[in-house]
């Protein structure tokens, strides 16, 4: 059976128990400043960051899927959205916080290093 990611996400791919932990951790950090949401998909992280936590100054999303970016754009929560592979993504400035929920599994170290290079050094 082939699953439809958009319709079956919360039932199959999503780890629903992680949101309380992530929410508490991110809330404890105070302002998250300028945030990059890697693999933003349909924008679930934006709902958490902008509507629930409210401690984001500027939110940028990047995903490889134009369809998902279009749906995320419909939420009107991201300040900027890009269709791009994170390995090729460039932005005029570094980010204070990087969110990559449910996208890091199976990525090679070179991609993880590229993602890390997008965040300001020394930011906790």
pLDDT in tens, 21-63: 788 888 888 899 999 999 999 998 999 899 989 999 999 999 9
Q: Comparing C-alpha atoms, which of 41, 77, 73 is closest to residue 59? A: 77
Residue 109 carries which DSSP code?
H
Is the CATH number 3.40.50.150 carried by domain 32-116? yes
Joined tokens for residue 49: 């960051």
Is residue 97 within 8 Å of residue 33, measured between CB atoms?
yes
Long-range contacts of 15-18 (CB under 8 A, 24+ apart): 15/102, 18/101
What are the sequence ranges of the domains in the chain? Answer: 32-116
pTM of the model: 0.80
Instruction: State the pairing for strand pair 80-83/33-38.
Output: unpaired
């Amino acid at each position: 059976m082939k699953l439809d990611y958009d319709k079956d996400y919360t039932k199959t791919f999503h780890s629903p128990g992680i949101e309380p932990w992530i929410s508490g951790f991110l809330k404890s950090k105070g302002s998250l400043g300028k945030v990059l949401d890697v693999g933003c998909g349909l924008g679930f992280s934006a709902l958490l960051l902008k509507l629930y936590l409210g401690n984001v100054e500027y939110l940028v999303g990047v995903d490889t899927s134009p369809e998902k970016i279009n749906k995320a754009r419909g939420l009107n929560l991201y300040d900027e959205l890009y269709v791009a592979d994170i390995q090729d993504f460039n932005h005029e400035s570094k980010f204070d916080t990087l969110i990559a929920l449910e996208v890091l599994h199976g990525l090679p170290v070179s991609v993880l290093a590229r993602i890390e290079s997008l965040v300001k050094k020394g930011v906790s």
